[in-house]
Chain A
Amino acid sequence: MGKAKTRKVECMIHTENLCKTYRMGDVVVQALRDVNMEIKDGEFVAIIGPSGSGKSTLLNLLGCLDKPTSGAVFIGGTDTASLSENALAEIRREKIGFIFQQFNLIHTLNALENVALPMFFAGVGRDVRLKKAEELLVKVELGERMYHKPSELSGGQQQRVAIARSLSNDPAIIIGDEPTGNVDTDTGTAIMQILEGLNREGKTIIVVTHDAEIAARAGRTKRMRDGKVLE
């Protein structure tokens, strides 16, 4: 990462004129238009907006899953556009934890192995890995179900496994794409409580949601419409 452009900023994440366009056949869709935002270290930010407003696109760019059409995403002062595929994979692995609406656990692996997987890709030794995964599952109150496959777990349990997984390489940033979208209200509240707890421990948390109640629990809310962030 030595070659990457760096700047002195206090912000954990900020974007500069971020644009993303998709081409769907002959139609060009502008999913993001000139998004400029800053997220500081330790913030809890909720991004809300109707579907199609570009919030998931923004999240994918912030999470280094996708590359912008123009503009830049800076993470800890590093311009991610200048990084190779491998370096981006390292950022996803070390600095960012992802939580998806569909949980996205690997169904051939049990809860413990799913949580340990990011550490496996990071080259952490087996014993260390499994011990840490166990601790994380205890932390999300799934210590009893460590050896269950995802198909044997409820939606809320699966999402808690996913949260534990997102924490496994101890990232500074947790990104959630509608993390409560596929669970009932009570479970959703419980998941938000876990995220709040993590935020208190110092993690930066960015969550996309269209549930105003959930959004209200975040420290700061960004509203999106038609690919733009409304202040």
Chain B
Amino acid sequence: MRDKFLLAFRSIRERKARSILTVLGIAVGIAAIVSLMSVGYGMEYAITGELTGMADMISVMPGKIMGGHTYIEMGGFTDRDVKDLQRISGIKDISAMTYDSVEVAYQDERKPTFVFGGDTKDLESFYVEPVGLKEGRWLRENDYKGCVIGDQVANDFFDDVIHVNDKLVLNGDKFVVVGVFEKGGMLYSNDVDRNIFLTLRAAKNVLQTDEIKYVVVRVYDIDEAEAIAEEIKEVINDNHGLDDFTMAMTMGSMLEQIGDIFNIIRGVLAGIAAIALIVASIGIMNTMLMSVMERTHEIGVMKAIGAKSRDVLALFLLESSIVSLVGGVTGCVVGVIVAKVLGFLGSAASGLEITAIVKPEVLLSGIAVAVIVGVLSGFYPARKASRMSPVEAVRYG
């Protein structure tokens, strides 16, 4: 066996340039698979990781989602709705929030924005903990004249950058900036970057409404979350005499949706990688066919001095497996490096901590796929080589 390796290795080395190109072809295919899968896993982990911290939450909104992703607001909740929710068993904590669009003024400039108001403790665990503050501090319950602003409000809205202690005017009321958020990143950008956060009392005052637009419920037992969500919908719909007034989404169902999305993404990534691999295997087949043609004479000589068809077949198959194994291993190494780089770039771009997750099974299957592809695409040329008539092959060349 060792000698067969030596023999195959010799002929690979003899055709250095072409062997290297073939190895590269396979390596690119495998690197594509490994890096895309690893980054995919990393993204999934980063996003679900952030969400699982909120797994005991149910988001309740007065509206419904149409056509899969467009949220249509149907009105607002009342204090009575919130009181009724408190009677549902299994609920640990309820936090009512309100928000609406409003005009913000700084010196002479005016911009449309959203005001978000709620229980300061709830808002803190919901937004401040994951996103973080760049400047200042978070709101206290009695900060009736204080506000915390998102990254875009601070940096992009006005000619000057807004800092802590600057004053903003909302509907005629003056507020002092006590804190500024970091960039919200992929998950929180919508909720944080363009918003101004107030205490619930101040928000109701500014927006001149008692309507609640958003309720977050925490449950004791995550397994009961779905049932509790159903009950919440029933209770509030009864209060308003409508069938589909309320939407109550558990984090669990959001995680499921995200899982579905990731399956699709992974499928697409695998598809791209598969195309790369098909190209690579055509490359191997081409190399091996060329090798067979180039060595027709040599094959004839080997047969003339007593090689059987299966000896020739074995040599050529061994050659293509070595080439593809080297390609597979190279591809894995390159794939891991590319995945790390992509993860790093992705983290910088999204603000989310994405670390490529390299699963051993991805590496192993990458190498296995390379060898299988190598052997399969080497098989036709190898068989062709082994079936040559010795006298014709010797005469060739």
Q: Give me the interface of A with B, judged by CB distance under 8 Å.
A: 60, 63, 65-66, 85-86, 89-90, 92-94, 98, 100, 104-109, 117-118, 120-122, 126, 165-166, 169
Contact = CB atoms under 8 A, between A and B. Distances in A.
Given A65-B394, A104-B394, A108-B14, A90 B2 contact: no
Interface stretch (B142-150, B195-203, B302-310): B302-310
Given A60-B391, A65-B390, A104-B394, A121 B304 contact: no
Contacts of B2: 126
Given A66-B389, A106-B301, A126 B3 contact: yes
Interface in B1-52: 2-3, 7, 10-11, 14
B311 interface: yes
B298 interface: yes
Given A106-B298, A108-B11, A109-B10, A169 B389 contact: no
Contacts of A166: 305
28 contacts: A60-B391, A65-B394, A66-B389, A66-B390, A86-B309, A86-B310, A89-B306, A92-B304, A92-B306, A93-B306, A93-B307, A98-B304, A100-B304, A104-B297, A104-B301, A105-B301, A106-B301, A106-B302, A108-B14, A109-B7, A117-B305, A118-B306, A120-B3, A120-B7, A121-B306, A121-B311, A126-B2, A166-B305
Contacts of B304: 63, 65, 92, 98, 100, 104
Given A106-B302, A108-B10, A121-B302, A86 B308 contact: yes
Contacts of A104: 297, 301, 304, 394
B375 to A, nearest CB: 22
Contacts of B306: 89-90, 92-94, 118, 121-122, 169
A30 to B, nearest CB: 17
A73 to B, nearest CB: 14
Nearest to A175: B304
Contacts of A92: 303-306, 390
Interface in B375-390: 389-390
Q: How many B residues touch the partner, as a band?
A: 20 to 34
The 4 tightest CB contacts between A and B, nearest first, are A93-B306, A89-B308, A65-B391, A66-B391
A109 B11 CA distance: 9
Nearest to B392: A66
Contacts of A109: 7, 10
Contacts of B309: 85-86, 89
B390 to A, nearest CB: 5
Contacts of A85: 308-309
Interface string B333-369: 0000000000000000000000000000000000000
B308 A121 contact: yes
Contacts of A100: 301, 304, 394
Contacts of A106: 298, 301-302
A206 to B, nearest CB: 15
Contacts of B394: 65, 100, 104
Given A66-B389, A89-B303, A117-B305, 11 more contacts: A65-B391, A65-B394, A89-B306, A89-B308, A90-B308, A92-B306, A98-B305, A109-B7, A121-B302, A121-B311, A169-B306
Contacts of B308: 85-86, 89-90, 121
B385 to A, nearest CB: 14
Interface string B301-330: 111111111110000000000000000000
Interface string B71-93: 00000000000000000000000
A122 B304 CA distance: 13
A94 B394 CA distance: 19
B395 to A, nearest CB: 9
A122 B308 CA distance: 10
Contacts of B307: 89, 93, 121
Contacts of B7: 109, 120
Nearest to B309: A85
B323 to A, nearest CB: 16
Nearest to A166: B305
B251 to A, nearest CB: 64
Nearest to A129: B3
A118 B305 contact: yes
Contacts of A126: 2-3
A109 B315 CA distance: 14
A122 B301 CA distance: 15
Contacts of A108: 10-11, 14
